[in-house]
Structure 1
């Protein structure tokens, strides 16, 4: 496009020069000189290579879904040719600026109602235009920006059915928790760490939050099963987002209560990990920030396979939006093996239908503890996708 403009101006200039040489006259030569100046300006601007530097800054690298994330952008622009328009773009925002004779300008924008996921941007695309709009240059400027948005937690302390199971006297021996007053070390603060374990003196010295690691003996055991099967009968995006929130909330609750934990999902990669350290727990949070419902295996098959590998005293928390005959039969089979089954059932309708009520009654009769959670994401888009720019 730019070459066509230059060819067009050259043709007009050549025509004007030819006319002036053949006919002469004040008006003809005035037109030729004017076009010569315009052609000279065009060539100079085209050959100009402006120097651009950019820097983006956010307050934190870790956010919660729904947060408004403020991004501050600083642009340094050096050119001896006056470029009037500057358009700055990344994957999340577009800003038009008129620098006049300024060499540095900055602005701030918001990523509103952020969705969970990893946000990764290598740089900015800057488009600059000259005074007459003849020249349009695209420049890619390096300005790396990375942050992660975790799912928003849900207060599970209100789940009386699940709480009663944890407090059941029949399981008292497996629910004891011994916490020493001795500390095994200090590490960087991770999402979900309780505030009473923050080492404030070290945090002040390092200008970064630090957490005290306690020497703890734990007998609590919990395995979380997250249903990420996209082919489920009652699957929808909003309910899955609620399921991810519940899984993150259970991990945070278990971490605060010093549970021995693990998490399994029937997503495409068949995620399975034992959360035996703070690093592993952080990895699980990152998995929940990025997981998408791409699984094809039903949750009841995943439960049957995985429970063969874990002890019977493990409390199994199954988060699903899909109750069916196969799931009920699997739970009955596992209960006969003395497995502890807790189910968090997520529904979206105003009231449960007759079929779901029947399934819930069957589960309760076989000794499963059930918590009913209504999906509250009515219009939210699917999270977990990688947001690049």
Structure 2
């Protein structure tokens, strides 16, 4: 409404100015007065044409180079403007309204050197270009957004502004152009110093002969087709005068529960949270490759649980959720973890990824250790932010049998995660 009133006011002023110049030329006469009138006439008519030209009728659309990325990738965007009537326009200012979610810098491993200074990876993005279309029916506007941050980013509108040569008359229009890109967390290889599979952990036995352990012998039996030559018990075969094969303890698969702390932190630890998500996504990818059974639990404003699975579809669902998860929730991670313990089966391998460490969380993790075969604790924090109290809590966790991994700038900037399990 305000813009309409402004256009009408300028239109009336331009017509009145034209009438004044004409009246001046008619009554004054002479070369100067008529030269002034005819010299200003093309500009005044052009001003009126700009005011009457309906730029809101233009067709504006946007295309992306692709719609799914990993954190740190670059996005290429093409904005196309089509108009039916080629009215001569001296200039057009095209501005893309970038989502606020893109006002962060998404990096890969090298970005974690700024864990102690999160502001270093904040950067407001403003996309604006000037085009000189004149009689062109089509205007194309290209730009790039480097270092995409993780998340789901929604584009909404484009603003186009134009005017006359002198800037006296200006018009602008807003176009709703929806668009969406999804940025997954960056994934790295994970080097685990200890195999997760063990005999006493998990509930589902593995019947694959390639996973059978050949160090714990439980008995002997007669040879059967398919048994390996190295399994033959020669002493027993000689005594019984028959081919006898060793019986081995059946190995059980490792049931791993991965828990991510997505609660809101008292002190903003944005880069540490992104590191938590990246480590979690990398662990999920590692178990997907080895076709191992994994469950995933996110504790934040909502509790999201992905049950035990080996399905690639379920693993993809975990990654999609990780691309959108944000720290939220007033309940502390220690309280949420304590509530979830009651519903968990016994003798799991529990992996906890967090950026917060408090005495209450230490107590919850130790209680979890008493119920489960193994607990692996990943603590992501800037080195300078780890206090003496937190170091003492980490030592107490280690004494209680919890496998502790502290990942600060030195560990997070490596090409792959090297952790103990």
Compute the TM-score of the two structures, normalised by the length of structure 2.
0.69
The aligned counterpart of 1:72 is 78
Counterpart pick for 2:62 among 56, 80, 92: 56
The aligned counterpart of 2:224 is none
Aligned residues of 1:82 and 1:130 also touching (Cα < 8 A):
no
Aligned residues of 2:68 and 2:184 also touching (Cα < 8 A):
yes
Distance in 2, matches of 1:121 and 1:363, equals: 45
The aligned counterpart of 2:11 is 6
Please list the CA deviations of residues 135-185 of structure 1 after superposition, one character each: whole Å capped at 9, or x if unmatched: 43323445443211111123222x42xx34x14454387684869xxxxxx
Counterpart pick for 1:366 among 376, 396, 400: 400
Aligned residues of 2:50 and 2:163 also touching (Cα < 8 A):
no
Counterpart pick for 1:99 among 133, 136, 141: 133
Counterpart pick for 2:45 among 40, 45, 59: 40
Distance in 1, matches of 2:319 and 2:152, equals: 12
The aligned counterpart of 1:252 is 285
Q: 1:67 to 1:127 in 2, by over 3 A?
A: same
Distance in 1, matches of 2:174 and 2:313, equals: 36
The aligned counterpart of 1:171 is 201
The aligned counterpart of 1:325 is 359
Gaps of 5+ in 1: 180-217, 379-389
Pairwise CA RMSD: 3.2
Aligned residues of 1:49 and 1:79 also touching (Cα < 8 A):
no
The aligned counterpart of 2:273 is 240
The aligned counterpart of 2:263 is 229
The aligned counterpart of 2:91 is 85
Number of aligned residues: 336
Structure 1 residue 355 and structure 2 residue 389: aligned? yes
Distance in 1, matches of 2:61 and 2:81, equals: 7
Structure 1 residue 271 and structure 2 residue 271: aligned? no
If you compute each CA radius of gyration, which structure gives the higher value, 1 or 2?
2
The aligned counterpart of 1:208 is none
- Which secondary structure does the structure 1 equivalent of 2:392 belong to? helix
Distance in 2, matches of 1:267 and 1:38, equals: 62
Aligned residues of 2:258 and 2:297 also touching (Cα < 8 A):
yes
Gaps of 5+ in 2: 1-5, 99-126, 210-251, 413-421
The aligned counterpart of 1:387 is none
- Structure richer in strand, relative to its length: 1
Q: 1:173 to 1:41 in 2, by over 3 A?
A: closer
- Which secondary structure does the structure 2 equivalent of 1:310 belong to? coil
- Which secondary structure does the structure 1 equivalent of 2:58 belong to? strand
Compute the TM-score of the two structures, normalised by the length of structure 1.
0.74
The aligned counterpart of 1:345 is 379
1:304 is displaced (CA, Å) by 1.5
1:258 is displaced (CA, Å) by 2.4
Aligned residues of 1:312 and 1:340 also touching (Cα < 8 A):
no
Q: 1:172 to 1:142 in 2, by over 3 A?
A: closer
Q: 1:140 to 1:178 in 2, by over 3 A?
A: farther
1:97 is displaced (CA, Å) by 1.4
